[in-house]
Amino acid sequence: MSGRPQGSAPAAASGLQAVLALPDFRLLWLGQIFSQLADKFYIVLMVFLIAQTWVQGVPDANPALAEAASAIRMDLPETRAQMITLLATGIYVANTVPAMLLGTVAGVWADRWPKRTVMVASNGLRAALVLAVPLCLVQSPLWLGLSVGYWGLVLMTFLESVLTQFFAPAEQAAIPKLVPPQHLLAANSLYQATSMAATIVGFALGDPILRLLRSALAGLGIDGGEFLLLPACYGLAAVTISRIRWQESPRQTSRSSVWEEIQQGVAVLRERPRVASAMGQLVLLYSLLAALYVLAISLASAVQGLGPTRFGTLLAMSGLGLAVGAVAVAQLGQLLNRRHLAAAGLATIGWSLLLLGQLRGNLTFTLLLCAVLGVGAAMLAIPAQTTIQEDTPEAMRGKVFGLQNNLINIALSLPLVLAGTVVSRWGLLPVLWALASIALLAALAERPWRRC
């Protein structure tokens, strides 16, 4: 079979209706949903197991935990929640490091191998890997004050993240092969909306689902029901994607080294200004969103009725706005100039940040502005991603998307480190003004007054 999109949308169909009418894209989309839910459930399961296995009581009641804190030269956390956070940090770091270091290399291999095979293998191997989670809970010797099983979970998380780095560029590169060019904007809108929905559902419902599985199967005399969720999700993703009726043309064996192919991906950005500009927009967007994650705690602290521990409400509203914006872009985006759409998205983000500073403390306006900011993020992210897919040569897509994943993960990480320090020194309002100024200047740099 050729690499052309399988099936065709009805002539009158447009927007989401058009892309959902493509059977192979539907399978890829469903595979994405299962895979992303599994990624979120994975983090929830790790925190659940840490709380149930390694932090059962108050920290000072566990000498092993005291030794672990001493080994990394930290004061022992005073509460159970703080100790759970400390141990969960090891999981977060193991999950983040491959994303920052291996994205570009994984993108090179995603171009060398058939993309459907890469996606199926990635999910299948992750399903097999998480089957070993119960083995990490078996009583084992201590190392740095914690059982070897905990460090086994850290290693497993690292390997799971490595496999994810192969899935992501292969998935992004597959979309333009399964969707006609005129429907790419709608396809990316659907992906963005469901990605945000999976994040909200995965983190919000992960713990209740794990507990429900545990209790339901325990009632049938089966222990360990919570361990079935991840293999099921990853397995369903692998099976669903394997049913795609798309086979790529055989690729010639590459004689270039991995480093040479990485340089070829970078060369695409130099040779195609539209791709470089779109990638710069995504890096800027994710930097702003990462800073917002940190600022949300201070924003929530200023709102009566929320407080710092409920900052997730603000992030959920941003996610809801992003999902709504994605649906709107899917239905109306083809009618708008992409430069105008990107400029409008940046301006929406900028003004939202400015007004968040001015109206902080007001619950209604803060929630509304967080949602509006999410809409602006969708207006910027979806056209930018579509431009990269359209303007990148097919043979280079894996490399370019791997590089994109690298840059975005760096963009997400640096503000998380810097924003808290900057806020503690200069306060929330100057930081919001600075971020708003960056967004508004970027909107002007798009020169939206030009017709083309």
Residue 92 has pLDDT above 60, yes or no: yes
Report the interhelical angle of 184-219 vs 312-332 (nearest 10°): 140
122 CA to centre of own chain = 16
Q: Is a pLDDT exceeding 60 seen at residue 282?
A: yes
Class level of CATH domain 264-452: mainly alpha
3-state secondary structure of 147: strand
* Tokens encoding 422: 């900057």
**pLDDT tens for residues 35-54?**
999 988 898 888 888 878 77
* Nearest residue to 42 via CA among 222, 199, 224: 199
Which of 259, 215, 258, 213 has the alpha carbon at shortest distance from 233? 213
- The residue that leads in pLDDT, 433 or 415, is 433
How distant, in Å, are the alpha carbons of 54, 133, 175, 224 from that of 215?
21, 18, 39, 9
Q: How far apart are CA 221 and CA 303, in angstroms?
A: 47
CA distance 282 to 170: 19
- Give 78 or 436, the one with higher predicted confidence: 436
231 versus 113: which is more confidently predicted?
231
**pLDDT band per the 50, 70, 90 thresholds, residue 1:** very low
Highest mean pLDDT of the ranges 49-63, 134-148, 247-261, 294-308: 134-148
Amino acid at site 382: I
Region 45-72: what's the mean pLDDT?
65
Coil/strand/helix, residue 302: coil
pLDDT category at 4 given cuts 50, 70, 90 is very low
Structure tokens at 77: 């956390």
Q: Is the pLDDT of residue 11 over 60?
A: no
How far, in Å, are 56, 59, 138, 146, 282 from residue 63 at the CA level? Answer: 13, 8, 19, 10, 46
Residue 309 vs residue 319, higher pLDDT = 319
349-402 pLDDT, tens per residue? 999 999 988 887 788 888 899 999 999 999 998 888 888 888 888 778 778 887
Mean pLDDT of the chain: 80
Residues in the chain: 452
For 19-28, 33-42, 278-287, 359-368, which range has the lowest pLDDT when averaged over its residues? 359-368
DSSP helix/strand/coil, 142: strand
Which residues, in sequence order, are CB contacts of 258 under 8 Å at separation 6+? 105, 108, 109
Higher pLDDT, 431 or 312: 431
d(CA 378, CA 327): 9
| 408-437 mean pLDDT | 76
Selection from 48-57, 289-298, 322-331 with the highest mean pLDDT: 322-331
Which tops the pLDDT comparison, 104 or 24? 24
Q: Report the pLDDT value the prediction gives residue 2, as an integer from 0 to 100.
A: 41
- Tens digit of pLDDT for each residue in 210-248? 888 888 888 877 777 788 899 999 999 999 999 998 766
Q: What pLDDT, on a 0 to 100 scale, did the predictor assign at position 127?
A: 96
* For residues 277-305, average pLDDT: 82
pLDDT in tens, 71-89: 555 554 455 656 676 777 7
Q: How confident is the model at residue 139 (pLDDT cuts 50, 70, 90)?
A: confident
Higher local confidence (pLDDT), 208 or 56: 208
- Give the span between the Cα atoms of 385 and 168, in whole angstroms: 13
In percent, the amount of the chain with pLDDT more than 70 equals 82
Ranges of each domain in the chain: 13-181+196-243, 264-452
User: How is residue 97 written in tokens?
Assistant: 């490091």
Entry pTM: 0.75
Alpha-carbon span 386 to 320, nearest angstrom: 21
pLDDT at 208: 84
**Does position 209 have pLDDT exceeding 50, yes or no?**
yes
* Topology of domain 13-181+196-243, CATH: Growth Hormone; Chain: A; (1.20.1250)
The reply to whether domains 13-181+196-243 and 264-452 share a CATH topology is yes
- Give tens-digit pLDDT for 141-183: 777 767 888 899 999 999 999 999 888 888 888 888 888 888 8
Average pLDDT score over residue span 121-143:
89
The CB density around residue 154, as the number of other CB atoms within 10 Å, is: 18
